[in-house]
A and B are shown apart, each in its own frame.
Chain A
Amino acid sequence: MSHAIVAKNLSLSYGSNKVISSASFAIDERDFVCIVGANGSGKSTLVKAILGLVKPSSGKISFGSGIEQKTIGFLPQDVKADLNFPATVFEIVLSGTLGRLGMKAFYRKEDKTRAEEALKRLGISKLRNASFVDLSGGQKQKVLLARALAATSKLLILDEPSNNLDYKSRKEFYGALKKLNESGLTIIMITHDLDAEDLIGNKVISIKEAKVECAPTADFLRSYK
């Protein structure tokens, strides 16, 4: 199986603190990887480095064919927008295709089709014209996932997506992620929960004291217990 992401001797710093030291790991296409670690361990910094928002202090990250940083589907930890932000679901999902627009000013027909397809894949087409602020927490998270999906055909990165979800919404959200992974998407998800229920991927990247280890989920759970 070909690699989606390969990190070689990757070191990342936050200010003067070294948060990741000389990490080497590979994520294969169609992998579903959960990144775990204590608060402040460097999970988000690692994700930002993959997205190109943080420069490595040494080492490098390379991508498999067809993956560009601008077309990675990203779901941030939280959206800091105004609580009453006026936006329809379609406006938000469509904005996911902006990374593909290059210098073009206006959305093309294919961008709108991508956004419609993302809504359809997550079963939320009926929310297309709904106002974002009127949605439940679970629905909002699905809309943001649809936006990430509109951005990518290959790789999704999610930063603690289940944080503000109740148990039922979380199960539903994880179900949607599993389906996307089965359809061929590579998924990387930061989670702070170490329950088997939350480690839904096939691999776990754990970060502890700047050391990064990548292992199959079953092996990680055994060693963790």
Chain B
Amino acid sequence: MTWFFEMLSYSFMQRALIAGLLISICAALVGVSLVLRKNSMIGDGLSHTAFGAFAIATVLNFAPLWFAVPVVVIASFFVLKMSGNKKSNGDAMVALLSASSLAVGCMAISLTKGVNIDLNSYLFGSVLSIGWSDVWLSLILVIAVVLLYIFAHNRIFAITFDEDFAKAIGIKTDLYDAIFAVICSLVVVFGIRLLGALLISSLIIFPTLIAMQFSKSFGRVVIASVLFSVVNFILGLVISYLIASPTGATVVVVNLAALIIARIVRAIRQ
């Protein structure tokens, strides 16, 4: 276990562990509703948008976080509106947004001289980029999301299962959609520095899919997805430290392995 204490002796690893755990909890909670409402790709679209926003903010010398948050929140409203609009092709809109944001971000960085940006850390994340301010912001976010789930989980279930029925019994589905859009945006923006624009959406999707292999109750899936998300993140971070692999990629591979094992276990049990 000495290696574990050695790992935690580095302050950047402490920050990465705490921020990662907090983001994992938020991502798992918001992921259950997004995945079950077939909106999984929204996380992907928003993470690419966040990349574009971070790149432009850096080039223009703005504070990246304060520039990216409003941009991604606005994009999330746009994407949710499109995905709920029967006349528009929601999937295509998300794909367009993803590709366009990525392209704009790359162009902004490559055409600007004298700006030293490590493109890889934006795309694939870096434990070194996490500061204490990220940890505190993540803590505030996780408190807000957990409180939302404690006090509104029944309504979140109703909206996730059957939006038309939820509207009919007076639940303000548009308000909940807006809250989820903001939370999803913040999870993406806060998590992008750790896992990267290309990998952060996996933190939203994998835990729910893994939890669904073991439980057929909504409440249990919510709790199980949080547990899987947290455990898989810790495993990914530790493995990445031990074998000196990129943290974001390792966390995703651990989640992928967990999903494969979960499916095999489920098939055997059936």
Look across to chain B and name the residue whose beta carbon is closest to the beta carbon of A95.
B158
Q: From A148, which residue of chain B is reached at the shortest CB distance?
A: B165
A147 proximal to B (CB < 8 A) = yes
A72 CA to B169 CA, complexed, in Å: 7
Query: Given the complex of chains A and B, what is the CA–CA distance between A69 and B169 in angstroms?
Result: 7
Decide if B221 touches A99 in the complex (CB within 8 Å): no
B34 CB to closest chain A CB (Å) equals 11
Pairwise interchain contact A53-B154, C-beta atoms closer than 8 A: no
Q: List chain A residues, Cβ under 8 A from B152.
A: 105
Q: Are B165 and A147 in contact (CB under 8 A)?
A: yes
Residue A76 interfacial (CB < 8 Å): yes
B244 interface residue (CB < 8 Å to A): no
How far, in Å, is B145 (CB) from chain A's closest CB?
A: 15
Q: Assuming A69-B170, A70-B170, A105-B152, is B215 touching A86 (CB within 8 A)? A: yes
A164 to B36, CA, bound (A): 22
Q: Which residues of A contact B217 (CB under 8 A)?
A: 86-88, 91, 131
Q: Of residues A86, A94, A99, which shows the largest number of chain B Cβ atoms within 10 Å of its Cβ?
A: A86
* Contact count A vs B, C-beta below 8 Å: 89
Chain B 26-62 per-residue mask, 1 if CB under 8 angstroms from chain A, else 0: 0000000001111000000000000000000000000
Asked if A86 contacts B169 (CB within 8 A), the reply is no
Given known A-B contacts A82-B38, A88-B216, A107 and B165 have beta carbons under 8 A apart: no
Looking at B38, B169, B170, B219, the one whose CB has the most chain A CB atoms below 10 A away is B169
Query: Does A51 have its Cβ within 8 Å of any Cβ on chain B?
Result: yes
Most buried by A among B154, B171, B218: B154
Closest residue of chain B to A84 (Cβ to Cβ) is B212
Q: A98 contacts B169, CB within 8 Å?
A: yes
Chain A residues engaging chain B, CB cutoff 8 angstroms: 51, 53, 69-72, 74, 76, 79-82, 84-88, 91-92, 94-96, 98-99, 101, 105-107, 131-134, 147, 151
Some 19 contacts from A to B, beta carbons below 8 A apart, are: A51-B167, A74-B164, A74-B165, A74-B168, A76-B168, A79-B162, A80-B162, A85-B218, A86-B36, A86-B218, A86-B221, A87-B218, A91-B157, A91-B219, A98-B154, A98-B166, A99-B171, A105-B151, A134-B216
- Additional A-B contact list (9), CB under 8 Å, known A53-B167, A53-B168: A71-B169, A81-B161, A85-B161, A86-B215, A86-B218, A95-B154, A96-B169, A99-B169, A131-B216
Q: Which residues of B contact A (CB under 8 A)?
A: 35-38, 150-152, 154-155, 157-158, 160-171, 211-212, 215-221
